Structure 1
Amino acid sequence: MPETYGSSYGSDFAPVAALLADRARAAMLTVLLDGRPLAAGELARAAGVTAQTASSHLSRLLDAGMVTVVAQGRHRYYRLAGPEVAQAVEALSRISGPVPVKGLRQSREARRLHSARTCYDHLAGVAGVTLFASLLDGGLIEPDGEDSYAVTAKGEERFAGFGLDLPALRAAKRRFAWHCLDWTQRRPHLNGALGAAVTDRLIELGWFERTGTRRALAVTATGRDGLAAAFGCLLPEEG
């Protein structure tokens, strides 16, 4: 029987790394960091490849368990298989060189992503790291391990007033609250079931709106006031 090294020496990430080494597949996964499912045609355009080539790439990503398919009638949409995949893509972004910005449009898109964006299903960018710091400094969350967090008694009351069902979030089949290092800010933002629920609520209340740039969010005037009142979070004015 051949010897297996996985249990003693870690995971075999070489096949996954090989998949991510292709620019078209990397582009597809980056676009899917938005958290919303996309059709194959949309992913083909984002990657700059033909529909046939996109289908081949998506088949490989499906086989590797990096994306899943959501069927709606006769249509098929693709999304990341889970937050772990998003975390891996974000981590690689932090150690990779930036994409050269060419033209005013790309410059504006880069500023929007820098300011506020979704990282799979939670808030990232300047807004994300500022909110995380406010929750921690305001005593609404506290460290509960190396990179996990617990909601304090003060936080229980504040999040309930914000409209979150914390017992349901704790019962979800994912980690409750932890952080990941933000790709553009190199500072932590809130992840996990709590981070996703907070982000959903921010968009539901109209405190943040989606923009024409995929993944980018824009804070509204109501959102600025609401974040300050609810969490003591003061976002910097956009230049």
Structure 2
Amino acid sequence: MARILITGSTDGLGRATAEALLDQGHAVIVHARNPGRADAVAALVGRGADIVIADLADRAAVLDATRELNDGAAIDAVIHNAGVLSGPSLLPVNVVAPYLFTALLTSPTRHVYLSSSMHRDGRATLDGLDWDGGSMTASYSDTKLLVAAFSAAVTERWAPRVLANSVDPGWVATKMGGAGAPDDFDLGHETQERLAVDPDLQVSGGYWHHGAQQQPASGVRDPDFRARLVRELAVVTGVALPER
């Protein structure tokens, strides 16, 4: 059985993923933004899940969380599920936090990043981005393109020892997606579960939707853009992505 960290797991797809993996007998680390939100996963903690609390918009809190996690039992996989839809914290939460967890957590051999079909409307540019979140300089679509490109960059650097994939979970009925979202909720979390724990699914560098690989936007496929993205994130965070 694997030990999996799931960011943004107090509700929606993150919580459903945590519940499903616990049902399968895996060890799960749930994540909450603050102590108040931790109450929402009390039932999962009662079932044996561990918990980490960190505001992913706060870079210092993310760094503290990575140190806490590295001091604990080894983590086999990370599902980078946390995300926000709008506001100046788009880049810190949707891109910088996954980057830091990837660069600093020492034991995971699988990373799964939540992207979106909306990444196809994103801009493959790094110009003028405020990575600290002081102002809103990127759209949700931009951030989902960036995180999918980063996933592909991790594959280039770390495969086959570490597997990395990005997932479009579909437009499902969550707080972010809205009650009227038309896609199947269960299909919205099953792919990332398989990518995190299925021993027969030894694949990296894919962009997935409902169990099948798809071709992502051209910016995700551009190796020069991916390399520039990794260099930019290393500079703005002061944390380099290791050569493994």
User: What TM-score, normalized by structure 2, do the two folds share?
Assistant: 0.27
Structure with the higher fraction of residues in helix conformation: 1
User: What TM-score, normalized by structure 1, do the two folds share?
Assistant: 0.28
